[in-house]
Amino acid sequence: RRRTRVHHLQQWKDAGEKWAMLTSYDAMTAAVFDEAGIPALLVGDSAANTVYGMPTTVPVTLDHMVPLVRAVVAGAPHALVVADLVFGSYEASDEQAVHSAVRLMKEGGAHAVKLEGGVARASRIRAVVAAGIPVMGHVGFTPQAEHALGGYRVQGRGDAAAQVVADAKAVAEAGAFSVVLEMVPADVARQVTSTLAIPTVGIGAGADCDAQVLVWQDFAGLSERTGRFVKKFADVRTTLADAARTYAAEVREGSFPADEHSF
Ligand code: KIV
Ligand code: NA
């Protein structure tokens, strides 16, 4: 297997082949997902929640992200590794966006970066792409703007559909290689997917996107609560909790370690 490159994602769209993306924040899950054939991994700023226990993605910094990106790149020999530009690392200017994206590439070893926003961020995308860094866009519900958007809610219902379509188009015209559509109605996502030449990656955006992405702790059933757009493909939370209870009980009653675990 060769390393996934951004042009492969375009080839898959052109051939009508769908693909799945997962987040990862450490070398071991990265290796498992890479081995399982997941072609692209996202070191999302959802690390704020899943790794660092923060209530939103707002407080997480590039300094938090860089070591996680390094770990995922180290664990995944085939996947395209995309790293999120965090809130506060690209809003001020095109120069700030390029500087931050360069950090994720140079210090983290990322193969591409992702940033949130459409029409309002087109200039940032253009600048980062001009620096030679592939950019994935992210429109619809953008968690970094949670407070501006009035909480976790579907974007692009009714008359607001036009804004989501315009945002996705702006991202594509600015040179992004792909765009995440988060929590938008399935019919709006279908329209965007058929309009844009670049692949769309849906999360809570229906079945007609070119690809899907999920946070791994959500898809694996480790997260305590998830949105209704998540399907649990495993029950890792129960598996781990049962293992921890069994281990503790065996230590208490003296059945672990047994002779075969001892020297
Ligand atoms: O940070 C993240 O995990 C994301 C995906 C949910 C798209 O941005
Ligand atoms: Na993110």
Tell me which residue has its CA closest to atom 1 in ligand 1. 44
Which tokens belong to 193? 């997917």
pLDDT tens profile 136-182 = 999 999 999 999 999 999 999 999 999 999 999 999 999 999 999 99
pLDDT tens per residue across span 195-246: 999 999 999 999 999 999 999 999 999 999 999 999 999 999 999 999 999 9
What pLDDT is attached to residue 91?
A: 98
- Give the pTM: 0.98
pLDDT digits 0-9 by tens, 74-110: 999 999 999 999 999 999 999 999 999 999 999 999 9
pLDDT confidence band for 1 (50 / 70 / 90)? confident
Q: pLDDT band for 122, please (50, 70, 90 cuts).
A: very high
30 lines ligand 1 (CB under 6 A): no
169 is in an annotated binding site: no
Annotate 8-76 with DSSP letters as a single string.
HHHHHHHHT--EEEEE--SHHHHHHHHHTT--EEEE-TTHHHHTT--SSSTT--HHHHHHHHHHHHHH-
Give the pLDDT score at 238: 98
**36-81 per-position pLDDT tens digit:** 999 999 999 999 999 999 999 999 999 999 999 999 999 999 999 9
Tell me, what's the pLDDT at 9?
Answer: 98
| Ligand 1 proximity of 144 Cβ (cutoff 6 Å) | no
Give the closest residue (by CA) to ligand 1 atom 4: 44
Q: Is the pLDDT of residue 6 over 90?
A: yes
Contacts 24+ apart (CB under 8 A), 48-57: 50/23, 50/25, 50/215, 50/216, 50/217, 50/223, 51/25, 56/143, 56/146, 57/86, 57/87, 57/143, 57/144, 57/146
* Catalytic residue numbers, as ranges: 182
The response to whether residue 218 sits with its C-beta less than 6 Å from ligand 1 reads no
From 52, 82, 213, mutation site for ligand 1 pocket: most ligand atoms within 8 A of C-beta: 213
45 is in an annotated binding site: yes
- Cα 25 from Cα 89, distance rounded (Å): 19
Mind listing the domains of the chain with CATH numbers? Answer: 6-232 (3.20.20.60)
84 is known to lie in a ligand binding site: yes
Which atom belonging to ligand 1 lies closest to the Cα atom of 215?
3
* Helices 161-173 + 122-130 axis angle, to 10: 20
